[in-house]
Amino acid sequence: MALTACGDDSGTAGPPSPHPTPTASSSAAKDPTGEHLVLRRRETGGIAGIGGPGSVPEFSLYSSGRAIVASEGARGGLTEYRLKPEALQRLLDGARAAGFGRSHTVGSDRIADAVITVVTMGDAKTRIIQPESQAGAEAKFLKRLDPAGWPASDQAAPPEPYTPERTAVLAGQTPGTGATVKEWPLGPLGDGVRAAGAICTLAPSGKVPETRGGVVWRSEGGTYSVRLRPLLPGESSCRDLN
């Protein structure tokens, strides 16, 4: 779907966004809870179809200075970082200077199976196609969204695992032929709402059983494959995953 969006070889697509982009102070003031999403990076596309429905964004930054980052590796997981206010402001200023304050596309939409980095900042969305082959300010800035390069002096606390209170259970009906079948211990999987390409229900994270490949779950007479999607800050329902 990302490959069909507007854009051309010129490196820009669409007019500048008329909406202001967030700052560390203004975003927090608009959000009664004091925390609001200000910057997000997501990978999509590729031969394997990464970044599909229900996937966790690789990087989410909030006005409180909290950053939730998807960990690498087979088991995945999320890590929480905390930036000091001045470091957060420098990062947002750098993002605006790199051009992320307006919606546009960098690179050619004509590359089949391209990996696309999508950065959202406020209402602005920037698509960087094959970022490793781009030399502009947008692609160069992506390195600053890797917390591994953040100095300890910029961080208000050591990184720690992020564990949400609730997890979205994304279920899809399947025959379950040749698979191990287990009884689902929580609410009926088929009673959820359609979201992220699946039937979605919410459950307390501490009660959700471990899911793995090769196992299907029996619930109310049906069998389902299950994916888990932890809710991020600001997400409270299945519809938020869309």
- Structure confidence by residue, pLDDT tens digits, 120-146: 999 999 999 998 888 999 999 999 999
Query: Hey, what amino acid is at 82?
Result: R
Contact criterion met (CB below 8 Å) for 193 and 199? yes
Contacts of 149 (CB under 8 A, 6+ apart): 143
Q: What confidence score (pLDDT) does residue 44 get?
A: 86
| Pairing outcome for strands 59-62 and 115-121 | unpaired
Nearest Cα to Cα of residue 12 among 99, 94, 92: 99
Contacts of 100 (CB under 8 A, 6+ apart): 21, 39, 119, 121, 124, 126, 138, 141
Characterize 230-242 residue by residue with b for buried, 16 or more Cβ atoms within 10 angstroms of its Cβ, and e for exposed. bbbbebeebeebe
Note the maximum CA span of the chain. 56
**DSSP class of residue 50?**
B
| Pairing outcome for strands 155-161 and 180-183 | unpaired
Q: Is 198 exposed, middle or buried (0-12, 13-18, 19+ CB in 10 A)?
A: buried
Q: What confidence score (pLDDT) does residue 25 get?
A: 38
Q: pLDDT at residue 78 above 70?
A: yes
Nearest Cα to Cα of residue 232 among 28, 64, 30: 64
Confidence bin at 48 (pLDDT 50/70/90): low
Answer whether 0.75 is exceeded by the pTM.
yes
170 beta partners: 200, 227
Mean local confidence (pLDDT), 61-87 = 87
Query: Hey, what amino acid is at 122?
Result: G
Q: pLDDT at residue 71 above 60?
A: yes
Q: Hey, what are 171's tokens?
A: 């279920």
Model confidence over 8-28: pLDDT tens digits? 443 434 444 444 444 443 333
Q: What confidence score (pLDDT) does residue 51 get?
A: 72
Q: pLDDT at residue 30 above 80?
A: no
Query: How far is Cα 190 from Cα 224, in angstroms, rounded to an integer?
Result: 9
